[in-house]
Structure 1
């Protein structure tokens, strides 16, 4: 099992987006090694899931984040400890580096976004799941977003719904406040996508009563395949609208290897 001597560097204004395909990891000895990384509390939470596929995903997720954090610092994966931060968001306890991370998982794909110092949120969704996306949009999206969504041809509405939904999830996850922030209180304006893999032409605005500042936020949409949608939001300490962010992507098999890629 791997133990990188050369640690990854993470520069300011650099975002590392890690991903793992949990369904590809079936080896019993490797899964046992993942179990050995977890604290008793994490094991208890992982075992609470009713379905085996959810227990499997939870196990991979916990091993995944421990392993990837150990690529930056000389700390063993089993030695990381986590605590709830200011807004109940999981944070590293006594971090040797100001690493900030956020996890998201769905069927067949788990992601983790890592940066330095700034608040970060990410979300991945399976767009084939069976739910009333237009009813959800009508009920929870801002007026501006709903109008834009319903103005599109029917064939485009489902994809646009997941554009908005993942962006909104990434925003509230960056805050760490969950759905205590009403989804109608902030709006995304999704500009023309100039790249098949990522759209960074995205603007954020707020309802008059919501206290926040658009100039400290940056958001991105990723299109890894026809099945999944990914969004990422960063809340910087200062104005970051003109900051040049560098994205790096890493495909991981926890405890075995990782590979830098040009995307998903």
Structure 2
């Protein structure tokens, strides 16, 4: 399988020092380009997936990430090493100076993946398939603020699911850019999505700075969101 990654044009949607890559995935393929660049641990993790599509999705996305980051820092893809922050956000390890501070984030859904990279600011990304029945009503109370729930109820029926997915992807991307993730109970409800300004000010003492986000509508049948730190 030829796993290509395409740089999406910013068109003013995000700063010039942020790169967003789209990776189309051939989930039916038995071969993964870049498999040889994966670490032994990554290959073992891929092998643990029961479904072939899940194995290909993980391994192909990881290989594309290594290719993108290798080009970014000028190192062979197979030589890259990764570490986790205290909150579980991946980071490059074993590189000197600012190279080790390159921020990156990955998300995949279905046959598509997005990879965000920046040398100067924190980034986070999320992608979800667009469906009319995604079961969002069951989790809306865990994800949305009272204001967001009110706006959802006021939205025409067919558009409710799409609006919820915009809230969901924005919150995921923002939290990933902050390096916190969604493990903490209630953390999604702490973020208020302003669809006009597309700005989120962190409300934790250890999360200084302003985050902005932009939705990605470039991929048919999917909605994505890219978040990036403005304080840099």
Match for residue 48 of structure 2?
48
Counterpart of 1:72 in structure 2 is: 72
Correspondence for 2:147 among 144, 147, 158: 144
The structure with the largest strand share of the pair is 1
Distance between the aligned counterparts of 1:212 and 1:164, measured in 2?
24
Distance 2:215 2:30 in 1: 33
* Counterpart secondary structure, 2:26: helix
For residues 163 and 82 of structure 1, what CA distance do their matches in structure 2 show? 30
Aligned length: 213
* Distance across 2 between alignment mates of 1:25 and 1:18: 22
Indicate conservation of the 8 Å contact 2:202/2:210, yes or no.
Answer: no
Q: Determine the structure 2 residue equivalent to 1:254.
A: none
> By how many angstroms is 1:84 displaced?
0.5
Moved over 4 A (4+): 210-215
TM-score by length of 2: 0.82
Q: Is the 8 A contact 1:134 1:161 kept in 2?
A: no
**Uncovered stretches (5+) of structure 1, i.e. residues with no partner:** 1-11, 192-200, 239-264
Change beyond 3 A, Cα 1:132–1:86: same
Q: Does 1:172 align with 2:166?
A: no
More divergent stretch after superposition (59-68 vs 18-27):
18-27
Contact (CA 8 Å) 2:126, 2:170: kept in 1 or not? yes
Please give the root-mean-square deviation of Cα atoms over the aligned residues, in Å. 2.4
Corresponding position of 2:119: 116
Match of 2:198 among 202, 215, 221: 202
TM-score of the pair, normalised by structure 1: 0.73
Indicate the residue corresponding to 2:225 in structure 1: 231
Distance 1:64 1:25, change over 3 A: farther
Distance 1:112 1:168, change over 3 A: same
SS at match of 1:163: helix
Describe the shift of the 1:129–1:115 C-alpha distance in structure 2 as closer, same or farther (beyond 3 A). Answer: farther
C-alpha contact 1:188 1:205 (8 A) present in aligned 2: no
Alignment counterpart, residue 188 of structure 2, candidates 183, 191, 203: 183
Once the two structures are superposed, what CA deviation does each residue of 1:62-113 show, in whole Å capped at 9, x if it has no partner? Answer: 1000111122233111011101024220000033523210000000111100
Deviation at 1:204, TM superposition (A): 2.6
SS at match of 2:170: helix
The residue aligned with 1:217 is 211
Asked whether 1:161 is paired with 2:161, we answer no
Aligned 8 A contact 2:136 2:164 in 1: yes
Larger relative contact order (CA 8 Å, sep ≥ 6): 1
Matches of 1:47 and 1:120, distance apart in 2: 29
Q: CA deviation at 1:206?
A: 6.8
Gaps of 5+ in 2: 1-14
